[in-house]
Structure 1
Amino acid sequence: MTSETLFNLILTTGQTNTAILMIGSEGSRNDPTVKPDPYQDFDITYFVSDADFPTFEQFDRSHFGDIMIQQILPEKNRWCWLMQFMDSNRLDLKIQPVSSVPDYLADDTLNTILLDKTGSYRNLPATSDQTHWVQRPTQTDFDNSITEFFWVSTYVLKGILRGELLYANFFFETIVREELYRLLTWRVGVDTDFSLSVGKAHKRLPDYFEGLERLYDLSDLTRTSQALSTALTMVDDLLPSLSHDLQLTYDKTAVDRTTDYIFRQL
């Protein structure tokens, strides 16, 4: 079925099932900064009465499409099924008790109510990605990120020097590159007055910084060394102005000594 047909089916199911009191919608389809494309999920929550909630563990989902694969995530106060259908549609469907609606709306500015049989949530504000905007770091946040970046960079170096490609790449990918991206995200935050999101998995960072692709060729020790060198150079160039603009401090002596130590051995 088309995505439009699936959406209408989602609404019809909520309208005709008497136990479903509200339909919530969240995610990228509610984000005005996201350009729609065929790959967007439907993120839907059916809110049911607290009394009916326990019975929805066995909610029939088969009419939404031919399920190719699904992941079931039962958690406290909700049931959740992540479904990929053979027709390319994807539906992340959650069931929550209606008593959780206030917390649901307060949790994320992308969350909204599509259908409300109770009449309690009319004239809701327009959705926005404000909940996901870059947050200004504290001094502790800044210290921790810089320390983690340089501390774990020495692990990457150790893996390179030992000839242990998987060890070096693991720490580069999971920590060093992530801390670099945290610092770059704060740079974007400063430059935009902390009024936007860089997206899930930092996907919008290439709009603001060139050369990030050089951080992804880790196919041998030489290329991992080059990626580490690129990351160190980017942080070395970034920290003075970022520290100044955030009005936060960092241990420049430790940064310079660690950077020099690693470069001398690469």
Structure 2
Amino acid sequence: MRTEQQIMDLVLKVAAQDKRIRAVGLNGSRTNPNAPKDIFRDFDIVYLVTEIDSFMKDPSWIDIFGERIIMQTPENTTMFPSELGERFPYLMLFADGNRIDLTLIPIEEKDTYCKEDKLTIILLDKDHSLPEVPPPTDENYWVKRPNAELFADCCNEFWWVSTYVAKGLWRKEILYAMEHLHTIVRPMLTKMLEWKVGIDTNYSVSIGKSGKYLEKYLSENNWQELLATYPNGNYKEVWKALFAMCNLFRSTAIFVANHLEFHYPYEEDKKVTAYLKSEERLKSDAREIC
């Protein structure tokens, strides 16, 4: 596996030898002083270029970075709509285990690029034309204090969509149930846990993408409660996971509400919980819900 220095030397060598590339930037975990340092960290590289068309017309230009296992160019697919405007990324996983996410950005966007992410380091500026970039910090990703309206919306969404999970389980539609559990209900739980971490740390940390750093900030008991919300493909286990999620959401939301002087919807919680339990007991041939 090539070392970090070898990859960075190669990235800069390619840029130095190509007149179209006027500047090089680095973003992501390798610029974040608070991110764990491990062998799976990507190299999030930006080439600020005079034009992009010639790069796209000759796809072989990226072969210089090494033998690839697989590559994705998300701005050049029919399955997903283009989202980056004139920017063009190459996501590359190499045979030696390194990964480079290399994005081409028109040089005209240099000011925007230098200001849009505080985890930015400029590695090369051939024309000395880029604005000054302050030392990198992940403060843009720190937990933000919610307002009362956002808290209320989170609670409502959690309890409302939990009924969809129960409906799917009663109907024996486990894929429907688990999709709602994981893609809608779980993000509300994660958001509430994030706010708890914010309170505990005075809003000075990030829990990472998908809450990947949550274990670091939760008590051992809360962490085990969270793990209990991940079921296998078994109806009984999904029911258990749903109620485990309800219990953890409730205790966390009450903690947040008490500290921020928000109103927790106790009555809504009570009624929905009773409804979920009645659905769990409901016979498969039932003609009435309640």
Q: TM-score range by the shorter chain?
A: over 0.9
CA distance in 2, matches of 1:106, 1:263: 51
The secondary structure found in structure 1 opposite 2:228 is helix
Q: Is the 8 A contact 2:167 2:279 kept in 1?
A: no
CA distance in 2, matches of 1:45, 1:224: 43
> 1:85 and 2:99 equivalent?
no
Look up the match of 1:183: 192
Aligned-pair distance for 1:11?
Answer: 0.8
Aligned-pair distance for 1:93?
Answer: 0.7
**Higher mean C-alpha displacement, 219-228 vs 135-144:** 135-144
The secondary structure found in structure 2 opposite 1:47 is strand
Output the amino acid matched with 1:112: I
Encode CA deviations 1:101-139: one digit per residue, 9 max, x unaligned: 221122211122111112234763211111111112223
CA distance in 1, matches of 2:260, 2:91: 40
Look up the match of 1:165: 174
The secondary structure found in structure 1 opposite 2:223 is coil
Encode CA deviations 1:45-93: one digit per residue, 9 max, x unaligned: 10012xx343332351001011221111334121111011111111111
> How many residues in Structure 1 have an aligned counterpart in Structure 2?
264
Aligned-pair distance for 1:263?
Answer: 2.9
1:1-266 to 2 correspondence within 5 Å? 2-3=2-3, 4-49=5-50, 52-58=51-57, 60-74=61-75, 75-121=84-130, 124-207=133-216, 208=218, 209-211=222-224, 212-266=226-280
Look up the match of 2:283: none
| TM-score w.r.t. length of structure 1 | 0.93
CA distance in 1, matches of 2:179, 2:63: 40
Q: Is the 8 A contact 1:218 1:227 kept in 2?
A: no
Q: Is the 8 A contact 2:111 2:130 kept in 1?
A: no
Provide structure 1 residue ranges, at least 5 long, that are not aligned to the other structure: none
Output the amino acid matched with 2:92: M
The CA RMSD measured in Å over matched residues stands at 1.7
CA distance in 2, matches of 1:249, 1:24: 45
Output the amino acid matched with 1:210: W
Output the amino acid matched with 2:134: P
**Higher mean C-alpha displacement, 177-186 vs 130-139:** 130-139
| TM-score w.r.t. length of structure 2 | 0.86
